[in-house]
Amino acid sequence: MSAGPYTTGDSGQRADEPGGCNMTTIQRFDPFREMLHLRRAYHPAFPVPGWRGFDATNGQRAGGFALNVRRDDEKLTLLAWLPGVEPEDVDVTIGPDQELTIKAFRKLREQGPNERYLLREHRFRQGQRSIRLPGDLDLDAAAVSLEHGVLTVTVPVAEASQTRRLHVAGSPAAE
């Protein structure tokens, strides 16, 4: 008897053998299923940096806010969703290692004496996200703005790294 992918239990009985499993008990072996269960069990105590996992919601991470980064030939644009954050509560830095860091703090609205939350999913109070930037950007020309809860960081591509067409000088080809 060979243990194939469609076996049940430790006995290794095949589904087509007498006394084997029926169609409702067949499970395909997934070597990562137990790792995912283990990670979910220990996640609060041991978060894994950079792990988005299958249970991430709306692209948000432990940092509390979502990022989009796009690039074209002229610039890199980073968008961070920071609803309810004031410009003075945002700190954007670019370190010597080309790492852009955004730190943001949102003041929670005070509840009135006769109100209470029935559901409160928007709990972001403070967060920090970092991303390493490519080396061909002009960091001195970076611009940052915060409008309607969206932080926009624009960093142009350095002149030296943009594609330029060069004129080819010389004499006409001899025939």
- Per-residue pLDDT of 134-159, as tens digits, reads 988 999 999 999 999 999 999 999 88
**What SS3 class is residue 173?**
coil
- Structural contact between residues 142 and 78, judged by C-beta atoms closer than 8 angstroms: no
What CATH number belongs to 67-110+123-159?
2.60.40.790
Q: Which whole number is the average pLDDT over 35-63?
A: 54
Say yes or no to pLDDT of 61 above 70: no
- Per-residue pLDDT of 68-120, as tens digits, reads 999 999 999 999 999 888 999 999 999 988 999 999 988 777 778 888 877 77
Q: Which whole number is the average pLDDT over 38-67?
A: 56
Contacts of residue 166, defined as CB under 8 A and 6 or more positions apart, other chains included, come to: none
pTM for the whole structure: 0.55
Share of the chain above pLDDT 70, in %: 63
Mean pLDDT of the chain: 76
Say yes or no to pLDDT of 44 above 70: no
Q: Percentages helix, strand, coil for the chain, rounded to the nearest 5?
A: 10, 30, 60
Separation of alpha carbons 1 and 72, rounded Å:
59
- Structural contact between residues 145 and 118, judged by C-beta atoms closer than 8 angstroms: no
Residue 121: closest CA among 68, 66, 64: 64
> Residue written as tokens 């290794």?
12
Q: What are the sequence ranges of the domains in the chain?
A: 67-110+123-159
For the chain, how many residues are written? 175
Separation of alpha carbons 126 and 106, rounded Å:
6
